[in-house]
């Protein structure tokens, strides 16, 4: 067991450590800091103690596996509706840097039927993969947890990558959780930063927690490999495509039959919107200030001119003005567009958790005290029903639409 | 129908704020709540029990004070609740947590359905649900926004999953594990009688030994991942620019600024 040790004689009772604990595990008792069972041994308090009264005793975990057997950085090439997801290409771009830092090869892992793997393996190479490990089967035509997890587990067990990265999409998160559990290895969710520790060459994975209020950097113990992570879309930029690149394709066939797959996809009901929130470069969002379902009309008009997706705050969704799939925030979707235009949204912590990493935030609100202005790049105090039509008109004029 | 629901006590992020001076989380006065997505999980289990009969078993793993979320579960109508709590679980990551929960569900036994929230709002990993399903060797249906049909005789379930581009309708064999999104129902409030009953209830605590957990697979020992550093995110680049003046001036100015970004095509 690990232990957090607080030296009672050294502790001055300054209380610096108390707010530093993300889990609220520290408190003061008789003038010195004490720790309770909420402690997760993250070590956040160790660094802030001005008198070094806190030490963390970690159990030494020696490597019990042959680490040198694990090589290369693998990127899961996710595809849906006959198209590779952009996040997979973004990860090939970032994966290149990681592979160079550990001195290994950058590879794609591609699962699908014949038609899709033939096409997408070439694309993975064009975006930087030196090798593509392919599992081909009609059972892999569409993503299903059972067949995909089996395929990935078989490939990973056979070829032993050191690092495997997935997009943190609904598919990637459904998939990676199953693969990591089957392999009994570590998985870090929803990363926004990746780098290689220069000394140990281990993967350092950085991710937001507590609705983005804190960031945590996570490592995998050396007796678990591969190191796996899901990574948020749009964090890394797309690498250039070069169709003249050459790469090796390694093909395997899936040893599985349809009756071993426990789910069947009956149909897919496409969303009513032409632009979806997760892929959108621009989002126009409405909150309590829109006042009713009709209040989304000026929002949709501006979104139409900008080819933007329509978002909403929880207040608007819970009032029944717009369906849940539009909700941005902690209990809705997390988005990262280039431009987020918040209209009549006050900007609660929960809403911010879903959108504050947008490149540019424009806030339009009647209340000059609304918290949204604190994170906005540009703020306009005014009634959205006056401001939006003017904005729509001006964009139409400039864009000639 | 026997349903197990996994829930988690989390800090209420409405209260979680950053101290502008020290740039650290202010924990004082932060209340603990049931993870919002898990309330939909409990409600869906109660609705299924109303329709098909059976029992709803609610499990949480956490420190002793996590008992509060179980009392809420009892108050809204859960049949049995279990607190899985032991110092040996401290430092468990998602792999170790999923293992402990799956051992608890196996102890409850003969479960037709396991329901979890899509993710917890503190860690936001969405990994424990798939982890539990994999450990139990049952199919998982994540991001479920609607249960269309359950046939206990034929042991099958049809659900709608809310994905990025729309809704996928999937049929699966039972037993299965679902993770649910907010759209699936409207959680009920506890009745006065329910609250009274819950206040008096004795809630059993299950230790690592009680659930038959392998000590090498729980706590820090059973966790492959390790938090090495916790820090505050970079604040957004300075405070924003408030555009002041008449709208006839502000609007073209804002459009200029946004057009200059080249993001609008």
Of the partner residues B13, B27, B244, the one whose CB lies closest to the CB of residue A19: B27
Architecture field, domain A3-57? 2-Layer Sandwich (3.30)
Q: What is the mean pLDDT of residues B77-93?
A: 94
User: Per-residue pLDDT for B93 more than 60?
Assistant: yes
Residue-wise DSSP of A135-146: EE-GGGSS--HH
Average pLDDT for B19-25: 54
Q: Which helix (H) or strand (E) holds A302?
A: helix A297-306
From residue A164, alpha-carbon distances to A107, A119, B136, B239 in Å are 9, 22, 24, 38
Same fold for the pair A67-256 and A282-399: yes
* CB contact (8 A) between residue A181 and residue B95: yes
Question: Cβ separation of A325 and B254 shorter than 8 Å?
Answer: no
Residue B72 makes CB contacts below 8 A (sequence gap 6+) with B34, B190, B198
At residue A61, the pLDDT reads: 59
Average of per-residue pLDDT across B94-110: 97
Task: Identify the pLDDT of residue A111.
Answer: 98
pLDDT greater than 80 at residue A378: yes
Axis-axis angle for helices B94-108, B128-136 (nearest 10) = 50
The percentage of residues in chain B with a pLDDT greater than 70, rounded to a whole number, is: 92
Domain ranges, residue B198: 2-217
Residue B239 confidence (pLDDT): 62
Predicted pLDDT of residue A38 = 76
Q: Which two tokens stand for residue A337?
A: 């567009």
B213 pLDDT more than 70: yes
What crossing angle do the helices spanning A170-183 and A145-159 adopt, rounded to 10°? 50
Name the burial class of residue B45, with classes exposed (0-12), middle (13-18) and buried (19+) by CB atoms within 10 angstroms of its CB.
Answer: buried
Residue (of B233, B82, B102) closest to A184 by Cα position? B102
Mean pLDDT, rounded, for B204-228: 93
pLDDT digits (tens, 9 = 90+) for A87-105: 999 999 999 999 999 999 9
| Chain B residue numbers touching A374 (CB-CB < 8 A) | 239-240
Please tell me the predicted confidence (pLDDT) of residue A376: 94
Is pLDDT of A340 > 80?
Answer: yes
Locate tokens 């720790």: which residue? A35
Say how many CA atoms lie within 13 Å of B148 toward its Cβ.
15
- What's domain A282-399's architecture? 3-Layer(aba) Sandwich (3.40)
Interface test with A, best of B126, B137, B230, B233 (most A CBs within 10 A): B230
Contact B25 A19 (CB under 8 A): yes
The pLDDT, as a whole number, for residue A168 is 95
Q: Quote the mean pLDDT of chain B.
A: 91
The residue among B136 and A330 whose pLDDT is bigger is: B136
pLDDT at res. B25: 57
Q: Do A324 and B220 touch (CB under 8 A)?
A: no
Across the interface, of B221, B223, B231, the residue whose CB is closest to A215 is B231
Look at chain B and report how many structural domains it folds into: 1
Residue B155 lies in a domain: yes
**pLDDT over 70 at B16, yes or no:** no
**ipTM of the prediction:** 0.92
B133-156 mean pLDDT: 97
Q: What is the number of other CB atoms lying within 10 angstroms of the CB of residue B124?
A: 21
Q: How far is B94 from chain A (nearest CA, A)?
A: 8
Beta bridge partners of A34: A27
pLDDT for A104 equals 96
Nearest-angstrom CA–CA distance, B148 and A169: 24
Distance from CA of B198 to the nearest CA of A (A): 24
A213·B233 Cβ contact <8 A: yes
* Mean per-residue pLDDT, B16-32: 61
Least confident of A208-212, A366-370, B4-8, B153-157: A208-212
User: What pLDDT does residue A335 have?
Assistant: 93
> Residue A144: is its pLDDT beyond 90?
yes
Q: Which residues of A touch B259 (CB under 8 A)?
A: 398
**Is pLDDT larger for residue A36 or for residue B222?**
B222
- Tell how strand B9-11 and strand B32-34 pair up: antiparallel
User: Chain B residue with minimal CA distance to A337?
Assistant: B263
Question: What pLDDT does A344 receive?
Answer: 97
Asked whether the beta carbons of residue B158 and residue A266 sit closer than 8 angstroms, the reply is: yes
Distances (CA, A) of A326 to A57, A100, A164, A269, A277: 46, 40, 31, 16, 7
How confident is the model over A345-356, as a mean pLDDT? 90
Determine, for residues B182 and A332 on separate chains, whether the beta-carbon distance falls below 8 Å: yes
Q: Using 50, 70 and 90 to split pLDDT, how confident is the model at A55? A: confident
* CA angle at A250 for the pair A247 and A251, rounded to the nearest 5°: 135
* Cα of B192 to nearest chain A Cα, Å: 25
What is the model's pLDDT at position A41?
A: 78
Question: What is the arithmetic mean of pLDDT over B85-102?
Answer: 94
- Mean pLDDT computed over B218-234: 85
Checking phi first, is residue A316 left (phi over 0); if not, alpha (psi -120 to 50) or beta? alpha
Q: Provide CB contacts within 8 A for B233, sequence distance 6+.
A: A208, A212, A213, A214, A215
Model confidence at B83, pLDDT cuts 50, 70, 90, reads very high
pLDDT at res. B175: 98
Residue A62, pLDDT score: 58
Q: Quick one: CA dihedral B178, B182, B184, B187, positive or negative? A: positive
Residue of chain B nearest A41, judged by CA positions:
B91
Instruction: Tell me how many residue pairs between chain A and chain B have CB atoms under 8 A apart.
Output: 308
Locate the chain A residue with the closest alpha carbon to B148: A266
Mean pLDDT on A309-325: 94
Place B26 in a pLDDT band, splitting at 50, 70 and 90. low
In a domain, B258, yes or no: no
| Structure confidence at residue A265 as a pLDDT band (50, 70, 90) | very high
Note the pLDDT of residue B228.
Answer: 83
The CATH number assigned to the domain holding B112 equals 3.40.50.620
pLDDT attached to residue A266? 97
Q: Where are the domains of chain A?
A: 3-57, 67-256, 282-399
* Percent residues over pLDDT 90 in chain A: 76
Q: What is the mean pLDDT of residues A227-236?
A: 94
Residue A46 confidence class, pLDDT cut points 50, 70, 90: confident
Tell me the pLDDT of chain A averaged across its residues. 92
Q: Which is nearest to A165 in space by CA: A95, A260, A71, A262?
A: A95
Residue A186: which of A145, A225, A230 has the closest Cα?
A225
Q: How confident is the model at residue A56 (pLDDT cuts 50, 70, 90)?
A: confident
Query: Which residue in chain B is spatially nearest to A360 when comparing CA positions?
Result: B258
The answer to whether residue B237 scores a pLDDT higher than 70 is no
Q: Across the interface, do B19 and A19 touch by the CB < 8 Å criterion? A: yes
User: In whole angstroms, how large is the CA radius of gyration of chain A?
Assistant: 24
Closest-CA distance of chain B to residue A311, Å: 13
> What CATH number is given for A67-256 in this structure?
3.40.50.620
User: Which pLDDT belongs to residue A274?
Assistant: 66
The confidence score (pLDDT) of residue A64 equals: 72
Nearest residue in B to A374, CA atom = B239
Name which of A24, A209, A377 is nearest B27 (Cβ-Cβ). Answer: A24
| pLDDT score for B130 | 98
Percent helix, percent strand, percent coil in chain A, to nearest 5: 35, 30, 40
| CB < 8 Å to A146, chain B | 139
Sorted by sequence, the CB contacts under 8 Å of residue B151 that are 6+ apart come out as B157
Average pLDDT over residues A199-219: 89
- Give the one of A208, A353, A391 whose C-beta lies nearest to B254's C-beta: A391
Instruction: Provide the pLDDT for residue B21.
Output: 56
Sign of CA dihedral A358, A362, A368, A374: positive
Q: Please tell me which residue, A121 or A49, carries the higher pLDDT value.
A: A121
- Across the interface, whether the CB atoms of A268 and B141 are under 8 A apart is answered no
């Amino acid at each position: 067991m690990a232990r957090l040790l607080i030296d009672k004689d050294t502790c001055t009772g300054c209380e610096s450590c108390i707010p530093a604990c993300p889990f609220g595990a520290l408190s003061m008792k008789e003038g010195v800091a004490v720790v309770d069972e909420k402690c997760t041994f993250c070590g956040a308090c160790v660094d802030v103690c001005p008198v070094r009264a806190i030490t963390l005793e970690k159990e030494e975990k020696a490597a019990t596996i042959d680490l040198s057997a694990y090589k290369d950085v693998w990127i899961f090439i996710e595809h849906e509706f006959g198209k590779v997801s952009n996040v997979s290409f973004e990860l090939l771009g970032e994966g290149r840097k990681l592979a160079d830092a550990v001195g290994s090869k950058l590879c794609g892992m591609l699962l699908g039927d014949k038609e899709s793997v033939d096409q997408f393996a070439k694309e993975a190479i064009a975006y930087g993969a030196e090798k593509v490990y392919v599992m081909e089967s009609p059972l892999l035509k569409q993503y299903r947890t059972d067949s995909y997890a089996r395929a990935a587990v078989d490939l990973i067990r056979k070829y032993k990558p050191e690092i495997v990265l997935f997009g943190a999409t609904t598919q990637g998160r459904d998939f990676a959780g199953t693969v990591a559990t089957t392999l009994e290895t570590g998985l870090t969710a929803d990363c926004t930063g990746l780098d290689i520790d220069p000394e140990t060459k281990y993967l350092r994975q950085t991710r937001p927690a507590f609705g983005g209020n804190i960031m945590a950097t996570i490592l995998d113990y050396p007796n678990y490999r591969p190191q796996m992570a899901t990574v948020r879309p749009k964090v890394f930029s797309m690498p250039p495509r070069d169709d003249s690149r050459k790469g090796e394709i390694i093909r395997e066939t899936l040893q599985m039959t349809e009756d071993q797959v426990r789910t069947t996809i009956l149909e897919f009901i496409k969303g009513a919107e032409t632009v979806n929130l997760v892929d959108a470069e621009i989002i126009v969002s409405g909150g309590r200030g829109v006042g009713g379902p009709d209040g989304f009309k000026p929002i949709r008009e501006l979104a139409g001119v900008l080819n933007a997706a329509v978002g909403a705050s929880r207040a608007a969704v819970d009032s029944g003005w717009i369906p849940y799939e539009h909700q941005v925030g902690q209990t809705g979707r997390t988005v990262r567009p280039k431009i987020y235009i918040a209209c009549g949204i006050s900007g609660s912590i929960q809403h911010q958790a879903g959108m504050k990493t947008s490149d540019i935030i424009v806030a339009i609100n009647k209340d000059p005290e609304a918290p949204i202005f604190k994170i906005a790049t540009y703020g306009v105090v005014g009634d959205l029903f006056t401001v939006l039509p003017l904005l729509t008109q001006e964009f139409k004029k400039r864009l000639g639409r | 129908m026997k349903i197990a629901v996994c829930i988690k006590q989390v800090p209420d992020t409405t209260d979680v704020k950053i101290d502008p001076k020290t740039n650290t989380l202010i924990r004082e006065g932060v209340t603990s709540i049931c993870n919002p997505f898990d309330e939909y999980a409990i409600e869906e289990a109660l609705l299924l029990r109303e329709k098909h009969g059976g029992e709803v078993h609610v499990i949480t793993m956490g420190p002793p004070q996590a008992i509060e979320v179980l009392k809420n579960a009892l108050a809204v109508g859960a049949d049995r609740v279990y607190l899985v709590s032991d110092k040996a679980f401290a430092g468990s990551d998602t792999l170790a947590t999923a293992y402990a929960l799956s051992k608890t569900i196996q102890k409850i036994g003969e479960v037709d359905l396991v329901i979890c929230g899509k993710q917890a709002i503190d860690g936001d990993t969405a990994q424990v649900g798939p982890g539990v399903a994999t450990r139990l060797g049952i199919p998982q249906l994540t991001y479920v926004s609607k249960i269309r049909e359950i046939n206990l005789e034929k042991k099958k379930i049809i659900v709608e999953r809310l994905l990025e581009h729309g809704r996928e309708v999937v049929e699966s064999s039972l037993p299965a594990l679902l993770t649910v999104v907010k759209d699936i129902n409207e959680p009920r409030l506890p009745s006065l009688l329910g609250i009274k009953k819950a206040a008096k209830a004795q809630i059993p605590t299950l230790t690592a030994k009680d659930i038959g957990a392998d000590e090498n697979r729980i706590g820090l020992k059973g966790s492959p991942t390790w938090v090495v550093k916790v820090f505050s995110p970079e604040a957004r680049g300075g405070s924003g620019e408030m555009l002041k003046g008449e709208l006839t001036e502000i609007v073209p100015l804002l459009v200029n600024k946004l057009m200059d970004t080249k993001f609008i095509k």
